[in-house]
Amino acid sequence: MGICNIENEEEHTLVQGYLQEYPCHTSYGIHPWHVDTVKYASFFPYLEQTRIIGEIGLDNTWCETNLNLQKEVFEKQLAYAHEHHKPVILHLKGMEKEALPFLKKYKNTYLVHWYSCKEYLEEYINLGCYFTVGPSVGIDESVSHLVQKVDIQRLLIESDGISALEWAFETKEVDYISSLQRSIQEISRIKGMESAFVEKQLDQNFIRFIES
């Protein structure tokens, strides 16, 4: 079982069509890439009906949306999630330091997806964050570093979607399931743990996160 992130109305409609055949959890959030096109007021009903908020966050690397606007929309969603005790999935790139004061202000259960920054990791660990290990584990040194540092009880895996897999492996020939199995193998290797144990632990972590 997994979580599918939904960032706008079109994705909502698209995913509703698939849920019967491919059941999964969904999360809703205004992504930092779309703060200029998705308005908080119009997206708010989705935040109200979802159990999990995200991806939300700050990004100064992969997009050019205004950073002040990103912070404003990020904080509104953090405040809402905090108030309503909804766990949050974070998208952070290049803004790992700037995001920390917001997370300290709005205490919650946080999951940082594909954290790939060697700095500030200790602070995120101290906040009790969960981390999804990006498919580039074993290729990208900062992702492998994360696996070494973070307790197995705080790790999850992700694909970040087919296009991200193609980007990570530099090929169009990617198989969704085997790329996730590859991540489990890499985590087992880095942590020196049996893969069956890692798999079971990841399942337990997932349930603990969504039920938090």
Site size with Zn ion, rule: CB under 5 A = 2
Q: Which is nearer to Zn ion, 86 or 91 (CB)?
A: 91
Query: Where in 119-178 is the site for Zn ion (CB under 5 A)?
Result: none
Give, in order, the Cα–Cα distances in Å from 7 to each of 35, 149, 169: 10, 30, 25
Q: What minimum distance in Å lies between the beta carbon of 15 and Zn ion?
A: 16
Q: Which is nearer to Zn ion, 53 or 198 (CB)?
A: 53
Q: What minimum distance in Å lies between the beta carbon of 192 and Zn ion?
A: 29
Please report whether residue 93 would count as binding Zn ion according to CB under 5 A: no
> Where does this chain touch Zn ion (CB under 5 A) — which range of 41-49, 50-58, 79-87, 189-197?
50-58
Per 3-state DSSP, the chain is made up of helix, strand and coil in percentages (nearest 5) of 50, 15, 30
* The one among 78, 91, 147, 209 contacting Zn ion by CB under 5 A: 91
Q: What minimum distance in Å lies between the beta carbon of 5 and Zn ion?
A: 8
Peptide bond into 96 cis (omega under 30): no
The sign of the dihedral angle between the CA atoms of 22, 159, 164, 3 is: positive
Closest by CA to 63, choosing from 94, 89, 84, is: 94
What residues line the site for Zn ion (CB under 5 A)?
55, 91
